[in-house]
Amino acid sequence: MSSADAAVELENVEHSYGDVTAVGPVSLSVPAGEFLVLVGASGCGKSTLLRLIAGFEQPTTGTVLTGGHAPQPGRGAGLVFQQPRLFPWKTVGGNVALALRYAGLPTDRVDELLAGVGLHDVAHRRTWQISGGQQQRVAIARALAVDNPLLLLDEPFAALDALTRERLQEDLRRVSARTGRTCVFVTHSVDEAVFLGSRVVVLTARPGQVALDLKVGLPRDGLAPDELRGLPEYAALRSQIGHAVREAATVPEGASA
Ligand SMILES: Nc1ncnc2c1ncn2[C@@H]1O[C@H](COP(=O)(O)OP(=O)(O)OP(=O)(O)O)[C@@H](O)[C@H]1O
């Protein structure tokens, strides 16, 4: 695949913070519409990779392209972080409207965007009057507001309770299938990786390199989440990826921790 066709293209990318090499070298090509999950142990460089793709960091060596161009920070990708980072002085609807306005778009899609993430009736509330799960839904609606082809998510459900987390995973899976956005999603959770990903990349301990790059060809259509999780292929993928994560987290003897 040429760079022009890929939604995200990383070529021999390394990134160092001072004398700490956090990532690389990593080469990855992400086709449009793929749901790529980056999984690996704490500190292996997952967030750094995402920040490179978002354009918040520049690679120390190598090239990062999104849609065939160098990424511009704050442009070209919707971003969702572990904390929803909403504006507390705005209403729920106001937060989404702000994203539309910032992009120079009309604000008449606020209700539609909120409905798309299951928030039909809270547009008028302040962000502190809704639950943590609802706040994260608002953050997703805000990231989807602008018609970016790329959605970058950094452990967006890590701070939520297990049930809310599962509900949001299901909703994100539906939203990503409906909108056809290319997603790059960072997590520690092997189950989340298998449930969401059409492709899972396991990173080694720092400096993060690709330890495993796996297509997840689960038959998702028409299956309820519990049915999907109950498939023998699902359990096999969980086991394979879990094993790879544990192996990859082992720092080789002689390497600095
Ligand atoms: N701004 C920074 N300055 C110096 N070192 C940094 C900086 N940001 C990250 N690092 C280091 O780079 C390495 C990779 O960090 P990064 O946050 O990308 O990992 P991660 O896999 O996302 O971790 P976690 O899962 O714990 O969030 C870590 O060793 C971290 O301490």
Residue 179: pLDDT over 70: yes
What is the distance, to the nearest Å, from the Cα of residue 160 to the centroid of all Cα atoms in its chain? 16
Q: Which tokens go with 187? A: 């997590």
The reported pLDDT for the residue numbered 29 is: 96
In this prediction, residues 100-125 reach a mean pLDDT of 88
Query: What is the distance in A from the centroid of ligand 1 to the CA of 47?
Result: 7
Band (246; pLDDT cuts 50, 70, 90): very high
Cβ proximity of 236 and 214 under 8 Å: no
Q: Which residues of 63-91 are buried (b: 16+ CB within 10 A; e: fewer)?
A: ebbbbeeebeeeebbbbbbbebebeeeeb
The reported pLDDT for the residue numbered 223 is: 85
25: preceding bond cis by omega (within 30 degrees): yes
The reported pLDDT for the residue numbered 4 is: 52
| Residue 154 Cα: closest atom of ligand 1 | 22
Q: Which tokens go with 159? A: 């701070």
State if residue 207 touches ligand 1 by the CB under 6 angstroms criterion.
no
Q: Which of 177, 152, 166, 16 is nearest to 81 (CA)?
A: 152
Tokens 């298998």 belong to residue: 194
- Distance between CA atoms of residues 70 and 20, nearest Å: 24
For residue range 45-60, what is the model confidence (pLDDT) as tens digits? Answer: 999 999 999 999 999 9
Alpha helices, DSSP H, located in 8-45: none
In this prediction, residues 129-152 reach a mean pLDDT of 88
Closest residue to atom 6 of ligand 1, CA basis: 17
CB neighbourhood size of 19 (10 A) = 5
The reported pLDDT for the residue numbered 257 is: 46
Cα Rg of the chain, angstroms: 18
- Distance between CA atoms of residues 188 and 148, nearest Å: 26
- pTM, rounded to two decimals: 0.90
Closest residue to atom 17 of ligand 1, CA basis: 47
Tell me the HSE value of 10 on the side-chain side, using a 13 A CA sphere.
Answer: 26
Concatenated DSSP letters of 156-192: TTTTS-HHHHHHHHHHHHHHHHHH--EEEEEES-HHH
> Candidates 206, 209, 245: which one to mutate for ligand 1, based on the most atoms within 8 Å of Cβ?
206
Residue 92: pLDDT over 70: yes
Residue 2: pLDDT over 90: no
Q: Which of 210, 132, 133, 218 is nearest to 177 (CA)?
A: 218
The residues pairing with 237 across neighbouring beta strands, listed in sequence order, are none
Average per-residue pLDDT for the chain = 89
State if residue 189 touches ligand 1 by the CB under 6 angstroms criterion.
no
For residue range 73-85, what is the model confidence (pLDDT) as tens digits? Answer: 878 888 888 888 8
Residue 3: pLDDT over 80: no
In this prediction, residues 6-14 reach a mean pLDDT of 95
Concatenated DSSP letters of 63-106: EEEETTBPPPTTSSEEEE-SS----TTSBHHHHHHHHHHHTT--
Decide: residue 6, CB within 10 A, 0-12 exposed, 13-18 middle, 19+ buried.
Answer: buried
